[in-house]
Each structure stands twice: as structure tokens, then as C-alpha cells.
Amino acid sequence: MAERISVVENILGANDRLAQDNRARLDAAGVFAVNLMASPGAGKTSLIEQTLPRLAQKFRVAVVDGDIATSIDADRAAAAGASAAVQINTGGECHLDAVMLQQALNRLDLSAADLLIVENVGNLVCPAGFALGTHKSVLVASIPEGDDKPYKYPGMYRGVDVLVINKMDLLPYINFRMDYFRAGVEALNPGLVTFPLSCRTGEGLDAWINWLTQHATRNTQHLIPGT
Amino acid sequence: MHELPVTQSILEIAVRNGSQANARRVTDIYLVIGELSSLIDESIQFYWDMIAKDTIAEGATLHFRRIEAELMCNDCGERFPHNREDVSCPGCGGRNVKVAAGDEFFMEAIEVDGEPQG
């Protein structure tokens, strides 16, 4: 009496639907949102710290920080000039999901933000699988991690819209084959928008800031008057 | 670890589809997992008995169909396995390639026991 029933349903479909709800809320408020992902120590928080002061004249930037236990990152974002900083402690979960972002959005005044930066949990595996509803996914790689990461973590490199290569100032000191790295990225994500930069020296940051500015402007209906 | 939310999603989909088919029990669940989306492995079977307790899917067996990552050459059309170290096309040597398979992450079917007939 056993019967086989065809299903063909995305396993994370429920998360995807909630992510669509989040996207609709962000769009209704005219907020451009990015999901910042990286391994621990690649420089997600440093990138946010460098980004916020450079955008302060143009946009009100809110930051949502996902972390397993502490509020260190949200504190750093607030100190760097975030218009609002919300910490999500995942309590051991290795990634943010659409439910967690929904709860964070409930704690934010979206009408008082133009740009939302979501800092995911430091992890190159799990965050890639869970859509949040943000407009763009950004991966922060860094030179000391090594040039083999696209080959080892294809799911992450496959799913992002932008690649930041941080700590470029360390390139002379580390055996990092940029051609090998880029070939691995290209195979998984052809034509990926890439910004090599250094949060320490500031080199390359302008191109990243310009990209963010262009996208946030396109999505924002309420720029701060007079700027 | 995210095995828990993934397992809960699998349970929700299986129970919903089983209930719609008036199943008495869901006995088997067939999952298709691409190598590039390897969010889970067989270890989630261990969660199952806990998560699925007192549902129609209690005791169901999870089956995994793995899809290997494959690249396709945009120049000559050759499909070949993504071995992760060398992405150039074995046919023409080109590096203008794209991912042709390996992103899959879905449930393709369940097997159920229906209501006893007659």
C-alpha cells in the first residue's frame, strides 16, 4: 500500500518566503540592504567601521550585527557612526536566517534609514544557504585566509553579488596566488564584481563606497535634504 | 549548527504533503542535495526521531541523492566534473566555464502508507 508522492519543493522554501517579506518591507521603506558575509577575522566589522564615516554625509546607515554571543560588533558599528545598531545573538546558530532579520527589522525604525548593512555570523558555509531578503550579498575575503577558499567553499563564492578582497596590504608578505584565487572565483561566479582593498590603509575603499552609494541612491526615496 | 532548522523544514514539507495525500504514515523521504549546496549530511537522520516524534513522519527514513558539481564550457559545450583545483575545460582548454549542476537542495518525493482500503 506504499505510495510514492512527488513533492519537488525547496527545502528552505519557508525561509525564502520570509526573506521575500523582509525584502518587501525594505523596499517599502526605500532602504537598500546588503548582507555581509565572511569567515571570522576577514574584516567584516572593520569594513563597516571604514564605510560608515565615508557615507555619513549621504545616508543614514543602520547596522544589524549577527554574532553568537557578544555585542562587540554592534558597539563598534555604533561608535563608527551607525544611525542605529541592532545586535542579534544567535545563541549558537552559525548563520542568520530570515526570521532573525525580521526580528531585527522590528527593532529598527526603517523610515529613519537609507542603507542597512547586515553583518552575518563569521562562517563561510552556512550563511550562504539562508536568504535574508537583503538586496545584495557581499563576501569579504582576505589575503591571509589563503588563495584556495573559492575551491573549498564553492557554495559561498557561488551565491554572492560582490566580492571584497580585504587586507591587500599584506599581499607582499603572504604566498597568495591572485591568479589562482581569481580563476576559482570566476569558475563559480563569472564576472563577479570585485573590490580589492585594505581597511588598514584605506587603499581601494573608494570603489567600494562608490558602488554602495550608487545602489543605495537608486533604492532610496528620501535622501537627507540638502546633501 | 543549522541541522535543526533544516530538519524542521524537511519535517514541515513532508508532513504537509503526506497529510494532503491522506497518508497514515510517511515512511521515506527523498532529498536531492547538490555538492555546492551541501548544507546537510546524513547526520540529520539522528535528529529525525526527536523532531518527528508524534507526527505522521515519525520513524521515516531519509534518502539522500547527491548531485556532483558539474561545469559546462561556454565555448565548446563540454560538461565535466568540477574537481575544484583546475577549472579549465578538458575539451578545449578554455576557462570560460559556468556551473551546470550542483546547486540542488530540494525534496523530490515522499513514500507514504495510505489508509487501509475497505
Nearest to A9 among B85, B95, B106 (CB): B106
Res. B116 pLDDT band, cuts 50 70 90: low
The yes-or-no verdict on residue A204 having pLDDT over 50 is yes
Pairing between β-strand A2-10 and β-strand B105-114 as defined by DSSP bridges? antiparallel
Instruction: Over range B69-74, report the average pLDDT.
Output: 89
Other Cβ atoms within 10 Å of B18 Cβ, number: 26
Nearest to B9 among A11, A126, A183 (CB): A11
Residue-wise pLDDT tens digits, B18-41: 999 999 999 999 999 988 876 677
Chain B contact present for A12, CB below 8 A: yes
Domain that holds residue B12: 3-114
Q: What is the spatial distance between Cα B72 and Cα B95, in angstroms, rounded to a whole number?
A: 10
pTM for the model: 0.86
Chain A contact present for B118, CB below 8 A: no
Mapped to the 3 state alphabet, what secondary structure does chain A carry?
CEEEEEEEEECCHHHHHHHHHHHHHHHHHCCEEEEEEECCCCCHHHHHHHHHHHHCCCCCEEEEEEECCCCHHHHHHHHCCCCEEEEEECCCCCCCCHHHHHHHHHCCCHHHCCEEEEECCCCCCHHHHCCCCCCEEEEEEEHHHCCCHHHHCHHHHHHCCEEEEECHHHHHHCCCCHHHHHHHHHHHCCCCEEEECCCCCCCCHHHHHHHHHHHHHHHCCCCCCCC
Q: What is the spatial distance between Cα A143 and Cα A156, in angstroms, rounded to a whole number?
A: 17
Residue of A nearest to B11 (CA): A11
β-partners of residue A117 are A34, A63
Chain B contact present for A187, CB below 8 A: yes
Q: According to the model, what pLDDT value does residue A223 have?
A: 45
* Mean pLDDT, rounded, of chain B: 87
For each of the domains in chain A, give its residue range(s) and CATH number, in order of start.
15-217 (3.40.50.300)
Decide if A8 and B106 are in contact by the 8 Å CB cutoff. Answer: yes
Residue-wise pLDDT tens digits, A86-96: 998 887 778 89
Residue-wise pLDDT tens digits, A140-172: 999 999 999 998 888 899 889 999 999 999 999
Chain A residues in contact with B61 by the CB 8 A cut-off are none
CA distances from B2 to A76, A118, A126, B41, B44 (A): 27, 19, 7, 11, 10
Q: What is the spatial distance between Cα A159 and Cα A167, in angstroms, rounded to a whole number?
A: 22
Q: According to the model, what pLDDT value does residue A227 have?
A: 40
Chain B residues in contact with A3 by the CB 8 A cut-off are 21, 23, 111-114
Chain A residues in contact with B1 by the CB 8 A cut-off are 92-94
The answer to whether the beta carbons of residues B13 and B5 sit under 8 Å apart is no
The answer to whether the beta carbons of residues A37 and A139 sit under 8 Å apart is yes
Chain B residues in contact with A90 by the CB 8 A cut-off are none
* Mean pLDDT, rounded, of chain A: 91
Res. A220 pLDDT band, cuts 50 70 90: low
Chain A contact present for B13, CB below 8 A: yes
Chain A contact present for B46, CB below 8 A: no
Decide if B107 and A93 are in contact by the 8 Å CB cutoff. Answer: no
Kindly report the CATH number assigned to the domain that includes residue B107.
3.30.2320.80
Number of compact structural domains in chain B: 1
Longest dimension (CA), chain A: 72
Q: What is the spatial distance between Cα A83 and Cα A73, in angstroms, rounded to a whole number?
A: 15
ipTM of the complex: 0.81
Nearest to B9 among A3, A12, A183 (CB): A12
Res. B5 pLDDT band, cuts 50 70 90: confident
- B93/chain A closest Cα distance in angstroms: 13
| Burial label, A201 (beta-carbon count in 10 A; 0-12, 13-18, 19+) | exposed
Chain B residues in contact with A5 by the CB 8 A cut-off are 17-18, 21, 23, 109-112
Decide if A11 and B31 are in contact by the 8 Å CB cutoff. Answer: yes
Residue-wise pLDDT tens digits, A37-72: 999 999 999 999 999 999 999 999 999 998 877 888
Decide if A151 and B84 are in contact by the 8 Å CB cutoff. Answer: yes
Chain A contact present for B9, CB below 8 A: yes
CB pairs under 8 A between A and B: 110
Q: Which residues have CB under 8 Å from A165's CB, separation 6+?
A: A141, A142, A143, A194, A195, A196, A197
